[in-house]
Chain A
Amino acid sequence: MDIDDILREVDPASQSIPAETRDLQALTRAWVAERSSPELLRWPADGLFERVNDRIKQQIERVEEMTGDMDPKTNFALIVIQTELERFKYLVRSYLRARIAKIDQHTLHYLSSPDMRARLSETEQAYATRHQALLHNHYLSSFLSAFPPALQNLNDSAGNISMIDTPDTDTAVFIRLLKDSLVEGRGTDGDGIMDGKNGDIIILRWSDAKPLVDSGRAEVI
């Protein structure tokens, strides 16, 4: 056991916020951020979703057990457990769907570089690759093959405009500061800078907000 783990176990601050609350906060934050930011965010590397999915599976098993034993006293508990289960499933589903919607919209962009690919989970990478291949084959068989070879590409960048659509990372977003932080945002006539306080709700460009969000100093809302 690492010394940090021991320190953490004796630290009352982390003990009184149970792991379940932490995961729910992290899951909720990831969902809101994915729903509100203009580009696909990185798939959580700390195994959050794998953990949550495992626990959802366990809870479904528990529900099945409880349904088997028809004690009316557990009936209300069952309703509560099932209601909560549906809420968790909704969060996970909506999160995944928000991501797939972004991947669908800019598939080639997210497949175009190792950096972008790294944002996708393994399943999402497989999905995006297959989906793009299917789409390309469909285009080829229905119309692309009738074009002159020079016009068959889907990733041309002639004429100063790329066929690979990218999300506009300068789109404005709302963030909430979680710590007092210096906030810098590029503007039209002049750039903005402010001494942000914990709890401030700020509008700025996503490209300026991203470093704050990535470092955990702010969350997208």
Chain B
Amino acid sequence: MAQLPPLPQNFTYSAEHEWVDGAADELVGKTVKVGITAVAADALGEVVYVDLPEVGDTVTAGETCGEVESTKSVSDLYTPVTGEIVTINELATANPGLLNSDPYGEGWLFEVAVTEVGEVMDAAGYAEANSL
């Protein structure tokens, strides 16, 4: 039941449990999606609210840019990449449960036009760091 969905192998991950949909060396100059991993979603419990930056905001890799609230706690949301917010996933803000049910798909949070990449790891590195 608590079986987590598999890690997308072509994504990039942060220690704070965010993902970016692309390989680390190909992100700068692209617009990419950012979300939280199934590991984070499972640890948080069911997500009931997400507070996201606004379109046009510039977010900085490694810094907080929002909050994720679950039934049991609130956690800061970090961005693994620096850049301008291009799109917010309003489907996810309206249905925060998507972060649990489809963390790597419909549960994405925002799109960033990337200028810089913070400290990240690939799927194998993230899996190892989290004993997956």
A pairs with B = no
